[in-house]
């Protein structure tokens, strides 16, 4: 039998003879499948990936996707890879038996890229937000739409994709005004400056807030709806204008909350026990057989000093409760704080905890603390005070460039600027801290020569008057119908002992198919649900509060190309193994070392 390496050499000689007789076009075609063109693509791909990594590190993921990975040029680059693989196989026709592994390997890579293209083109990614008892048959996508409502007509949605691109927008209705997308900003925020305004405008302040690892520079304007009150995450901040001395006198004094509630969870489960403070102070109660609790002392203005706790009449309101839990000869002493529910100081614990969880709750405990800036415009005097569910602290004078410390909240407030009659000068700019901004689009609406520009943030809408009719433009998430309905029946959550942090949470749901068949399922953090080609993941939840039902958030993925990708990976592994085993060069070397009679 003829050795494999001799067949390979003869095939190459035959192809070289054919190449001399081919036209320029055919030579160019065959070059697309050669190793030299593969090296060009690899070098080009490395440069593109390096550029994408630099852009992503400096400007964020959206900038890299919009500028590199979700562009026509990148798609064309992937297409050239497919061409290179396919032509490489064509160049070897007629295929010899020892080249089957080569063909299988190249074909699997083409199938892999095709599966990725199917997923990207026809797949969906989105979320579901469900309240207990709610049923939904559509999900919110990660892509966006421009929702257009003109006059009394029905709303129309114009797809903008994941990264909106500038250009004329195609409206399906001829009566709609001309719309053009001018600009998209993926991580931007309004940079606000206060400028002097007419006397009828309210006062404005610029504040710097520092504490708990967070730093904020915020503008507040007394009579401006958008700048009167702001949510900063752990706290809110608001400006209140006292036009009379009587109003100021009512706002400045301290105001206590009437009582707090101690809530205790037992290790064996069951309903939590609640005790009223100070009404139940000094009393002893039985939590379960053999387990007793006693409320020892209550401090309204607690301060931790030298690892101890004491009442400080000059300190801000900070309710704390000391209680003991005893079973037999084992006794634990707990210290809990209303404003810091995650903190529980335990002494005397031996072995397993006697109680599963504890919290000290105030009326409206779910409300965030509010930093109130009180302004008396006639005298240009300002104060700052903390209002929380535990009560309202006394007002502290606030002067420019002087820092006031709200002790129990841990925030330092500095007045940077005060303007008696202020109005905002707003400009859109890149967020100072990456990830803190929002998505914005700038739209030009109306006929040429009389068009209006408007900025719209993601999830909001703006109204314009165009040709005497009201035009409402909304930058909203795209929606995708589901082939089934999903109903949230219950949200379950387990918490770490002594804290309000969830250790595990899950959603009990009912899936309703198109033909009426139902399916009960549980979706948890580590157990997604697969149904009708969709995969649902548990991504977050919000516990029931203030009479409102619990809410769960589910991430939804529809990936029609994943099967092709799995098949391609299997074929690629098989092809590489086959190629290594049947490598013509290795076969030739082995045959050279064999005795003549054994070949």
Q: Once rounded to an integer, what is the mean pLDDT over residues 306-316?
A: 75
Residue 355 CB neighbours (<10 A): 22
Return the closest-CA partner of residue 170 out of 149, 156, 155, 183. Answer: 156
Could you give the CA distance from residue 115 to residue 86 in angstroms, rounded to a whole number? 16
Residue 478 CB neighbours (<10 A): 19
Maximum Cα–Cα distance for the chain, whole Å?
116
> What is the per-residue pLDDT for 599?
34
Could you give the CA distance from residue 395 to residue 404 in angstroms, rounded to a whole number? 11
Strand duo 438-445 + 452-457: pairing: antiparallel
Could you give the CA distance from residue 86 to residue 110 in angstroms, rounded to a whole number? 8
Lowest mean pLDDT among 224-233, 324-333, 536-545: 224-233
Confidence of residue 535 (pLDDT cuts 50, 70, 90): very high
> What is the per-residue pLDDT for 596?
47
584 pLDDT above the threshold of 80: no
> What is the per-residue pLDDT for 294?
93
Confidence of residue 332 (pLDDT cuts 50, 70, 90): very high
128 pLDDT above the threshold of 50: yes
Q: Which residue has the higher pLDDT, 367 or 495?
A: 495
Confidence of residue 163 (pLDDT cuts 50, 70, 90): confident
Give pLDDT tens digits for 26-74: 888 888 889 999 999 999 999 999 998 998 887 777 778 778 888 889 9
Residue 78 CB neighbours (<10 A): 14
> What is the per-residue pLDDT for 598?
41
Residue 265 CB neighbours (<10 A): 19
Return the closest-CA partner of residue 338 out of 311, 300, 295. Answer: 300
Q: Once rounded to an integer, what is the mean pLDDT over residues 422-451?
A: 82
Could you please report the per-residue DSSP string of 59-101? H-HHHHIIIIITSHHHHHHHHHHHHHHHHHHHTTPSPPGGGHH
Give pLDDT tens digits for 333-365: 999 887 776 678 888 888 888 988 888 887 655
Lowest mean pLDDT among 117-121, 438-442, 446-450, 579-583: 579-583
479 pLDDT above the threshold of 60: yes
Could you give the CA distance from residue 279 to residue 269 in angstroms, rounded to a whole number? 26
Could you please report the per-residue DSSP string of 203-237? PEEEEEEEETTEEEEEEEETT-TTTSEEE-SS-EE
Residue 17 CB-density burial (10 A; 0-12 exposed, 13-18 middle, 19+ buried): exposed
496 pLDDT above the threshold of 60: yes
507 pLDDT above the threshold of 70: yes
pTM over 0.75: no
Cα 443 to chain centroid distance, Å, stands at: 25
> What is the per-residue pLDDT for 586?
54
Give pLDDT tens digits for 544-577: 765 667 889 999 999 999 999 999 999 999 988 8
Give the three-class secondary structure for 341.
Answer: coil
Edge-first strand order for the sheet with 357-361 is 273-277, 260-265, 357-361
Give pLDDT tens digits for 243-270: 888 888 888 887 766 678 888 888 777 7
Q: Once rounded to an integer, what is the mean pLDDT over residues 586-593?
A: 53
Lowest mean pLDDT among 282-286, 376-380, 460-464, 501-505: 501-505
295 pLDDT above the threshold of 90: yes
590 pLDDT above the threshold of 60: no
């Amino acid at each position: 039998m003829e050795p494999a390496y001799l067949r390979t050499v003869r095939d190459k000689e035959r192809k070289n003879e054919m190449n001399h007789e081919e036209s320029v076009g055919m030579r160019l075609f065959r070059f697309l499948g050669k190793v030299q063109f593969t090296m060009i693509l690899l070098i080009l791909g490395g440069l593109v990936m390096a550029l994408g990594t630099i852009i992503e590190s400096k400007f964020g993921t959206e900038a890299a996707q919009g500028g590199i990975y979700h562009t026509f040029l990148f798609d064309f680059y992937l297409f050239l890879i497919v061409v290179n693989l396919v032509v490489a196989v064509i160049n070897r026709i007629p295929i010899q038996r020892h080249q089957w592994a080569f063909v299988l390997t190249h074909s699997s890579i083409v199938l892999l890229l095709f599966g990725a293209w199917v997923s990207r083109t026809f797949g969906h990614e989105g979320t579901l937000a469900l309240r207990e008892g709610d049923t939904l048959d559509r999900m919110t996508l990660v892509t966006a739409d421009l929702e257009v409502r003109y006059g009394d007509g029905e709303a129309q949605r114009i797809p903008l994709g994941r990264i909106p691109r500038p250009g004329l927008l195609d409206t399906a209705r001829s009566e709609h005004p001309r719309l053009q997308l001018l600009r998209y900003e993926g991580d931007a925020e309004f940079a606000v400056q206060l400028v002097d305004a007419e006397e009828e405008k309210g006062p404005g302040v610029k504040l710097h807030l520092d504490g708990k690892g967070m730093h904020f520079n915020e503008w507040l304007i007394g009579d401006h709806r958008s700048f009167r009150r702001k949510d900063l995450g752990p706290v809110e901040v608001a400006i209140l204008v006292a036009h009379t001395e009587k109003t100021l006198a009512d706002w400045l004094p301290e105001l206590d909350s009437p009582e707090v509630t101690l809530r205790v969870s037992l290790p064996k489960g069951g309903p939590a026990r609640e005790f009223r403070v100070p009404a139940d102070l000094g009393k002893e109660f039985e939590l379960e057989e053999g387990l007793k609790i006693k409320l020892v002392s209550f401090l309204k203005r607690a301060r931790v000093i030298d690892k101890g706790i004491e009442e400080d009449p000059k300190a801000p309101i900070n309710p704390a409760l000391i209680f003991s839990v005893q079973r037999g000869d084992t006794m634990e002493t707990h210290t809990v704080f209303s404003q810091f529910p995650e903190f529980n100081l335990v002494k005397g614990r031996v072995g397993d905890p006697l109680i599963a969880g504890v919290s000290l709750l105030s009326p409206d405990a779910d409300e965030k603390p509010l930093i109130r800036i009180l302004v008396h415009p006639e005298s240009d005097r300002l104060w700052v005070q903390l209002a929380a569910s535990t009560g309202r602290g006394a007002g502290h004078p606030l002067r420019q460039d002087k820092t006031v410390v709200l002790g129990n909240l841990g925030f330092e407030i500095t007045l940077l600027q005060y303007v008696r009659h202020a109005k905002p000068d707003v400009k859109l700019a890149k967020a100072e801290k990456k990830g803190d901004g929002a998505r914005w689009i700038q739209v030009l609406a109306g006929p040429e020569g009389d068009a209006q520009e408007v900025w719209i943030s993601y999830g909001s809408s703006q109204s314009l008057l165009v040709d005497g009719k009201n035009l409402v433009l909304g930058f909203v998430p795209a929606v995708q119908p589901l082939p089934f309905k999903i109903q949230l029946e219950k949200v379950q959550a387990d918490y770490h002992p002594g804290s309000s942090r969830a250790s595990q949470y899950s959603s009990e749901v009912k899936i309703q198919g198109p033909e009426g068949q139902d399916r009960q399922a549980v979706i948890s953090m580590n157990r997604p649900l697969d149904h009708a080609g969709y995969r649902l993941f548990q991504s977050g939840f919000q516990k029931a509060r203030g009479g409102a039902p619990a809410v769960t958030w589910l991430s939804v993925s529809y990936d029609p190309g994943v099967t092709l990708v799995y098949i391609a990976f299997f074929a690629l592994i098989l092809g590489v193994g086959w190629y290594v085993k049947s490598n013509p060069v290795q076969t030739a070397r082995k045959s050279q070392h064999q005795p003549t009679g054994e070949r």
